[in-house]
Amino acid sequence: MARAADKKPRSEKRRATKHVQKRVTPAAYAAFEKRASDAGYDSPNDYLNAFILGEELIRRRARQERIKILAELGKQGSNLNQIARALNKGQVSRLTRDDLRTLEDTAAIHKALMAAVQASLS
């Protein structure tokens, strides 16, 4: 954070002193809104900010969707752990080798997906 002469920290917003303006027709603005929405931004202003800062490839909605996917994977992981706990306690009376192989494969896929989604959020 920047500091003024009084040595108090200043936010980035207070340091932003330049304005960017452009007059456009209603049709051009509608096209801009559509591009912003198609790119995954909640508003044209978010899209413009990302463009100015060179972050136009980062999509807010895509990130939010990845967070939801990560949450769902967490729930599925919990379910896998409950199955494993039941197996370890001997609460499952019958389990074929194919069932066990399927559970192991599912756990491996789950682990890989979790890692991939977490890496994409970094």
The whole model's pTM is what? 0.46
Summarize pLDDT for 52-108 with one digit per residue, the tens: 887 755 566 677 788 888 889 889 889 888 888 888 888 887 878 888 888 889 989
Mean pLDDT taken over the chain: 82
Q: 30 with 48: CB under 8 angstroms?
A: no
pLDDT for 1 beyond 60: no
Q: How far apart (Å, rounded) are the C-alpha atoms in residues 47 and 27? A: 17
